[in-house]
């Protein structure tokens, strides 16, 4: 893999199955659910599921630090917040493999360099396209930005609905989960935290 390995996966311990082995596993799950994997409507489902997994979990193949490696130091004296709102979050719960769907809000206070705003959205995408807990994902995004940009502070908030809660279990469809991570000046200054929350409409 070219990307940064998830810190929860021990290097050298992961043996990735072949595509055929993955499709066989899907056939097993279809049969376990009570259907016939060989019937017309399901015959190509294993291929489609494996292709979908390749898209849903492409974050394992990507490196967030690489995305943030190109920065710009000519900021013309700009020293206020950079805020991105409503970044789409499409992730999957590591407990039930169910979708986590929501929005991310990211801010940083630059010191002497900035990064292209699309790169910040890309970092959110990379971490979301892995099996996750929302708490861990929020912290990973904040720490990645802090390491790469060395800003005065970073703030990240994610507001998302967990399909493991809306489509199974307690079936509460209107509940969303909000998580935050404040680093540097955002952690130390409640006024700055409040400004961030007001800027993102929370």
pLDDT confidence of residue 76: 74
pLDDT of residue 4: 45
How far is 33 from 74, CA to CA, in rounded Å?
58
172 belongs to the catalytic site: no
Confidence check: pLDDT of 44 > 80: yes
Residue 105 scores a pLDDT above 60: yes
Residue 125 falls in the annotated catalytic set: no
Among 96, 139, 143, 163, the active-site one is: 96
Catalytic residue among 139, 163, 164, 193: 164
Per-residue pLDDT at 187? 96
Contact 18, 90 (CB under 8 A): no
* pLDDT more than 90, % of the chain: 78
In tens, the pLDDT along 18-27 reads 999 999 999 9
What pLDDT does 185 receive?
96
Known catalytic membership, residue 135: no
Asked if 139 is an active-site residue, the reply is no
Q: Tens digits of per-residue pLDDT, 167-188?
A: 877 777 788 999 999 999 999 9
Of the listed 90, 93, 143, 163, which one is catalytic?
93
Catalytic residue among 61, 88, 95, 172: 95
pLDDT tens per residue, range 116-174: 999 999 999 999 999 999 999 999 999 999 999 999 999 999 999 999 888 877 777 78
Sketch out the chain's domains with CATH numbers: 1-56 (1.10.286), 64-199 (3.30.1130.10)
Q: What is the pLDDT of residue 73?
A: 82
pLDDT of residue 3: 45
pLDDT, position 42:
97
Residue 134 appears among annotated catalytic residues:
yes
Q: How confident is the model at residue 13 (pLDDT cuts 50, 70, 90)?
A: confident
* Options 94, 139, 143, 193, the catalytic residue: 94
Residues 58-92 pLDDT 10s? 999 999 999 999 988 877 778 899 999 999 999 99
User: Strand 177-184 to strand 114-115: parallel, antiparallel, or no bridges (unpaired)?
Assistant: unpaired
Reply yes or no on whether 132 is catalytic.
no
What confidence score (pLDDT) does residue 9 get? 56
Contact present, 83 and 106 (Cβ < 8 Å):
yes
HEC profile for the chain? CCCCCCCCCCCCCCCCCCHHHHHHHHHHHHHHHCCCCCCCCCCCHHHHHHHHHHHHCHHHHCCHHHHCCCEECCCCCCCCCEEEEEEEEEEEECCCCCEEEEEEEEEEECCCCEECHHHHHHHHHHHHCCEECHHHHHHHHHHHHHHHHCCCEEEEEEEEEEHHHHCCCCCCCCCCEEEEEEEEHHHHCHHHHHHHHHHCCC
pTM: 0.89
Active site residue: 67, 132, 134, 140, which one? 134
């Amino acid at each position: 893999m070219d990307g940064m390995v998830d810190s929860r996966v021990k290097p050298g311990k992961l043996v990735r199955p072949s595509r055929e082995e993955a499709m066989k596993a899907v056939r097993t799950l279809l049969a376990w659910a009570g259907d016939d994997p060989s019937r017309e409507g399901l015959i190509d489902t294993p291929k489609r599921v494996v292709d979908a997994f390749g898209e849903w979990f492409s974050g394992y193949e990507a490196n967030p630090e690489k995305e943030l490696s190109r920065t710009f130091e000519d900021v013309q004296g700009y020293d206020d917040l950079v805020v991105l709102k409503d970044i789409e979050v499409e992730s999957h719960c590591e407990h039930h493999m169910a979708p986590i769907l929501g929005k991310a809000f990211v801010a940083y206070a630059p010191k002497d360099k900035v990064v292209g705003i699309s790169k910040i959205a890309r970092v959110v995408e990379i971490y979301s396209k892995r099996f996750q807990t929302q708490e861990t994902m929020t912290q990973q995004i904040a720490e990645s930005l802090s390491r790469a940009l060395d800003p005065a502070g970073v703030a990240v908030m994610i507001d998302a609905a967990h399909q493991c809660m809306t489509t199974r279990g307690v079936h509460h469809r209107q509940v969303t989960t909000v998580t935050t991570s404040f680093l540097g000046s955002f952690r130390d200054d409640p006024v700055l935290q409040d400004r961030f929350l007001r800027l993102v409409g929370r």
